Structure 1
Amino acid sequence: MARKNFRSTAVAAVAATALFALGACSSGSSANTGDGAEGNGDDLITIGFAQVGAESGWRTANTKSIQDTLTTENGFDLKFSDAQQKQENQIQAIRSYIAQNVDVIAFSPVVESGWDAVLQDAKDAGIPVILTDRAVDSEDDSLYVSFIGSDFVEEGHRVGEWVSENLGTESINVVELQGTTGSAPAIDRKEGFEDAIAGNSNVTVIDSQTGNFTRAEGKTVMEGFLQAHDDIDVVFAHNDDMGLGAIEAIEAAGKKPGVDIKIVTIDGVKDGMTALADGKFNYIVECNPLLGPDLAEIAKKVVAGESVEKRIVTHDDAFDQEGAKAALPNRQY
């Protein structure tokens, strides 16, 4: 197996202390239980994956895609950890993967900032890092070999364009359910949406708060919006789960989601697509979670010493009600 074998003594000493700490951040599950890179000889690529958590239907589908693809049958020994949406847990997991001398480290960063030190440790140890779904804001892009995921700014822009063109023909008030504060999708989707509506004076964002990408917090924040404002026309949710929580709050307030208050979201998971088909959502821009095959392909190339693209953007569709009805019967997630 073509791989870098350099290991600095200092990095190994730091990383070894993380082995015990992994228990604090791991879900306790591993897709495979092989002996690691050294124990498997040249047959398997050992990859350590540090997942954000299980905060949404999208994330569940993303995890399933990774675990279903990175199997021993496909040439991988997967070490999987769940960070429970805490950056410190992901950092502990990455350090433990360094100590385990894995072939590749991959992760979806909880937030954009604060990764340089641990990624430098991985680089010093000769372990390539692949970012999935979310990017980091490090000025040194040599700390990772590739990013695989969607263009979050474009997602927000597409939602904003649809709102501006289809709903912004008259004066409308928008409330925004943001994703996790400091995360790449929350930052970028907000930026894209604001850019798209900037030229339309009919569209006004009157309130914006984080719902942490969860259905429960989306409902809670939407309840607060409804208490604070009696003139909400549109909800822009950064993901389907928060939009689904907004549906619950809107219905509890005696209003009809999709009619009295329009809802536009990003993701395209089955529950969201069902809400769109039922007329409770009005528009969804897709964010494809099925990144397992792309990650497997890039990991194999990296370990083989082949060059890979620095940024690999996945294809995402967009759906209105009729599009959702047509897509649902064959929807994979």
Structure 2
Amino acid sequence: MFRRISAAAMGGLLLVASLTACGGDSGAGGGSDDKIVMGFAQVGAESGWRTANTKSIQEAAKAAGIELKFSDAQQKQENQIKAIRSYITQRVDVIAFSPVVESGWDTVLKEAKDAGIPVILTDRAVDSPDTSLYKTFIGSDFIIEGERAGEWLKKEYEGKPETVNIVELQGTTGAAPANDRKEGFAKVIGTEPKFKVIASQTGDFTRAKGKEVMDAFLKAQPKIDVLYAHNDDMGLGAIEAIEAAGKKPGVDIKIVTVDAVKDGMQALADGKINYIVECSPLLGPQLMDLAKKVVAGETVEQRVLTEETTFTQEQAKAALPNRQY
């Protein structure tokens, strides 16, 4: 639903709009008669992936001529809910957000629906059984990502009879990528008894927490063969802990991660990570295209997948020079 503002009022709002787009939550909407206004509630800035995701969304909005009202939830669901309610009050044309966790969104999404404002989920899903509360979900299949990590591990240890002790750095508790990457990985390695997850704990998708938890794993577990980290940043933090313990990452402890951000790819090229499953953060252009369609009342697919791959050490070396994030 487009908001209508008189020409006279518009003149006084132009400067404010130019300052608030792609910045903070401005508190009052602005935009010309034919400009789409999007309210976007981001998870936070917890990782290199998230930073690249935010940049992609901001740049794509500018290129598409969409006014973006952006808020950073600092990884707190209550902050996202507050931002979404603010966007409803401001009568934006479309709301998009990447949910901090899967559960607890029905009430605020119903408020948006009742206000006639379409909602697009990006990167992460919600577990609501009422799929009419949002128009579409664009992002990766996190279960497949976990399966790809598990498949690499099975191939790496194919024909080797000894027990493989695995520690797992999970993402934020309750988040869709954490739940699904764990599920997909467990599904694949669970077919062979020799693979044993001896410790699994959240690292909140951050480098600092990944280092802290890995340090605890190393002190508590006498033999660790493999680290599976739900994102590169936690894996990079774990590498610091492994090196501080006098071990060689990628050799003494094999490491598989998810994301393929530049720092992770460099660690893979250097042999400190053994395998990375890609999860692209560059969702901005697809998101803006979907926003235009849903605001125009067009029918869109309820699930839009991003195209992604996997990387070995040699593939990382080849991809690094042109890596965008």
The TM-score normalised by the length of structure 1 is: 0.89
- Asked if the contact 2:2–2:36 (Cα under 8 Å) also holds between the matched residues in 1, the reply is no
Q: Tell me the residue number matched to 2:43.
A: 52
Q: Which amino acid aligns with 1:90?
A: Q
In structure 2, the partner of 1:111 is: 101
| Aligned partner (choices 137, 141, 147) of residue 147 of structure 1 | 137
Any runs of at least 4 consecutive aligned residues in structure 1 with deviations exceeding 3 A, and if so which?
Answer: 32-39
In the alignment, structure 1 segments of 5+ residues that lack a partner are 6-27
**Structure 1 position 188 matched with structure 2 position 180:** yes
Q: Does 1:101 align with 2:101?
A: no
- What is the CA–CA distance in structure 1 between the aligned matches of 2:178 and 2:59, rounded to whole Å? 27
In the other structure, the counterpart of 2:15 is none
| Deviation for aligned residue 1:30 | 4.0
Deviation at 1:41, TM superposition (A): 3.2
In the other structure, the counterpart of 1:23 is none
Tell me, what secondary structure is at the counterpart of 2:236? helix
1:169 positional shift? 3.6
**1:168-247 mapped onto 2 (5 Å cutoff):** 169-170=159-160, 171-247=163-239
CA distance in 2, matches of 1:103, 1:37: 13
Deviation at 1:231, TM superposition (A): 0.6
Q: Does residue 285 of the first structure (1) align with residue 262 of the second (2)?
A: no
- Counterpart amino acid of 2:170? Q
Query: Is the 8 Å Cα contact of residues 25 and 83 (structure 2) preserved in structure 1?
Result: no
Aligned identity (percent) is 70
Q: Tell me if structure 1 keeps the 8 A contact 2:47–2:205.
A: yes
Q: Is the 8 A contact 1:237 1:265 kept in 2?
A: yes
Give the superposition deviation at 1:185.
0.2
Q: Is the contact made by 1:37 and 1:102 (CA closer than 8 Å) also made in structure 2? A: no
> What is the match of residue 22 of structure 1?
none
Amino acid at match of 1:74: A
Give 1:10's aligned residue. none
- Secondary structure class of the residue paired with 2:191: coil
Report deviation, 1:202.
1.8
Is structure 2 residue 255 aligned with structure 1 residue 263?
Answer: yes
TM-score by length of 2: 0.91
SS, match of residue 53 in structure 1 = coil
Q: Write the letter of the residue equivalent to 1:210.
A: T
> Which digits, 9 at most, give the CA deviation of each residue in 1:228-271, with x for residues without a partner?
01110000000000000010000000000000000000000000
Bigger mean CA offset, 311-320 vs 169-178: 169-178
Q: Give the match's secondary structure for 1:199.
A: coil
Give how far 1:42 is off: 2.7
| Aligned partner letter, 2:129 | E
Deviations 1:279-299 (A, max 9, x none): 000000000000000100000
CA RMSD of aligned residues (A): 1.8
Query: Given residue 53 of structure 1, which amino acid in structure 2 is its aligned partner?
Result: G
Cα distance change of structure 1 residues 223 and 285 upon mapping to structure 2, 3 Å threshold: same
After superposition, what is the alpha-carbon deviation per residue over 1:107-137, rounded to whole angstroms, capped at 9, x for unaligned? 0000000000000000000000000000000
Tell whether the 8 Å contact from 1:33 to 1:77 is kept in structure 2 after alignment. no
User: SS of the residue aligned with 1:312?
Assistant: strand
- Counterparts in 2 of 1:16-165, with a 5 A limit? 30-31=21-22, 39-71=30-62, 73-165=63-155
* CA distance in structure 1 between the partners assigned to 2:281 and 2:261 by the alignment: 9
- The Cα of 1:34 is off from its aligned counterpart by 12
Query: More deviation in 127-136 or 157-166?
Result: 157-166
What residue number does 1:8 align with?
none
2:306 is aligned with 1:314:
yes
The one-letter amino acid paired with 1:264 is V
Retained in 2: the 8 A contact 1:176–1:207?
yes
Give the drift of 1:163: 0.4
What is the aligned length?
Answer: 308
- Could you tell me whether the CA contact under 8 Å between 1:34 and 1:77 is conserved in 2? no
- 1:152/1:189 contact within 8 Å kept: yes
- Alignment CA distance shift 1:34-1:138 (3 Å): closer
2:96 is paired with a residue of what secondary structure? Answer: strand
Q: Return the alpha-carbon distance in structure 2 between the equivalents of residues 230 and 35 of structure 1.
A: 53
| Whole-Å separation in 1 of the counterparts to 2:45 and 2:314 | 30
